[in-house]
Structure 1
Amino acid sequence: MTEDTKQVESLLPYDRWTEEAMREVALRALEHAGEHGLPGEHHFYVTFRTDRPGVAIPSHLKVRYPEEMTIVLQHQFWDLKVNREKDFITAGLSFGGVPATLVIPISAITAFWDPYVRVGLRFPSAEAEPLEAVNESDSAPTPLPVPAEAEAERAEPEGPAQVVSLDAFRRRPARD
């Protein structure tokens, strides 16, 4: 391309179509895992906007992750469901030993990653600024009380964050 060549603006919404197709791939993977479990070593990281309308997470998680959160669907999750008609996914997870059901609108998902096969998808339209509330003081839900077990999770860690490998905690088959 030369400097004289001008980028032509498309009259077709290729960006939107591409994102819809990639979102479909993520939804099919989530549906499969919800119906059949995760095959082999597959596991998913799902990142979503916590500040989007329709997101339902415990209040202590909302305080800790006011804009974006990533969940890992690997060994300990339950009731993973994709509801396309109502445009959301649900999953049961434990946070600090406290079980919770998360409700995540499909449009709030910003990224999907299966590290086993190195498949990663980003959804730029969901990464945009959160939708403005009509009148936040009128529509704000009453926060749920934070369970005592979750108080420790709310505290900010001192120093830099550490990455811990889950391999050390996995059960290994007995050798003959």
Structure 2
Amino acid sequence: MSRTIDYGNLMHEAMRGLIQKVLQDVAENGLPGAHHFFITFDTSHPDAELADWLSDRYPGEMTVVMQHWYDNLDVGDDGFSITLNFGDAPEPLFIPYDAIKTFVDPSVEFGLRFETQEDEDDNAATELAPLPTSKVPAATPAAASKQEDVQSVDEDHAQDAEIVSLDSFRK
């Protein structure tokens, strides 16, 4: 039996840890300057908690914005809870880190995108796609990257991104 290093899962764990650290800092100190976040998550994730009317309205995924008004930000090891305003109605949410599809801070043009795709054997394969710009260096080896256009979370912040597939490192 040969043992291999699972770089794909290690990268996912590291990037989700980065999100956790950023949110923990915001919980303790507030959002600094112009920083704000667009967070897209899988509303059907078994551990995601949101109001029934929100899950009915957004059955696959939803993008939330942490910017001017948020309350009760509590960051844990598996996810974070937050109360956000939806049309003057405060709603509590719990978002597991595993449910996050994109995390974007447009104020510094930084973003991460997590994708799930089916591989040739019909097993779920996961791809991590950092969304760096000239201000933010790529967090992955340049030799494994390729340039592609990426759909932006917010059309006002559309940009080219460097997509890195971690599948090329798997055996």
**1:88: Cα distance to partner?**
2.0
Task: Give the number of the structure whose residues are more often strand, by fraction.
Answer: 2
- Rate the CA distance shift 1:164–1:119 in 2: closer, same or farther, 3 A: closer
- Rate the CA distance shift 1:62–1:48 in 2: closer, same or farther, 3 A: same
- Rate the CA distance shift 1:114–1:94 in 2: closer, same or farther, 3 A: same
Map of 1:64 onto structure 2: 57
Task: Give the number of the structure whose residues are more often helix, by fraction.
Answer: 1
Q: Does 1:101 align with 2:75?
A: no
Unaligned runs of 5+ in 2: 119-153, 157-171
How far does the alpha carbon of each residue in 1:129-158 deviate from its partner, in whole angstroms, 9 at most, with x for none?
9xxxxxxxxxxxxxxxxxxxxxxxxxxxxx
- Higher relative contact order (Cα pairs below 8 Å, separated by 6+ residues): 1
Tell me if the contact between 1:23 and 1:123 (Cα under 8 Å) persists in the aligned partners.
Answer: no
Residues 103-142 of structure 1: pairs in structure 2 closer than 5 A? 103-124=94-115, 127=116
**1:40: Cα distance to partner?**
0.4
- Rate the CA distance shift 1:103–1:13 in 2: closer, same or farther, 3 A: same
Q: Which amino acid aligns with 1:107?
A: D
How far does the alpha carbon of each residue in 1:82-126 deviate from its partner, in whole angstroms, 9 at most, with x for none?
111xx12101111111111101122111111110111101223xx
Larger radius of gyration: 1
Report the Cα distance in structure 2 between the residues aligned to 1:74 and 1:66, rounded to whole angstroms: 24
Map of 2:135 onto structure 1: none
Report the Cα distance in structure 1 between the residues aligned to 2:117 and 2:49, rounded to whole angstroms: 19
SS of alignment partner, residue 28 of structure 1? helix
Q: Does 1:40 align with 2:36?
A: no
SS of alignment partner, residue 110 of structure 1? strand
**1:12: Cα distance to partner?**
1.6
Please point out which of 21, 25, 29 is paired with 2:22. Answer: 29
Map of 1:53 onto structure 2: 46
Unaligned runs of 5+ in 1: 1-9, 130-162, 166-176
Please point out which of 8, 25, 41 is paired with 1:15. Answer: 8
How far does the alpha carbon of each residue in 1:42-91 deviate from its partner, in whole angstroms, 9 at most, with x for none?
0011111000112111111111100101100001101111111xx12101
SS of alignment partner, residue 123 of structure 1? strand
Q: Which amino acid aligns with 2:111?
A: G
Q: Which amino acid aligns with 1:13?
A: D
Count of aligned residue pairs for this structure pair? 119
Q: TM-score, normalised by structure 1?
A: 0.62
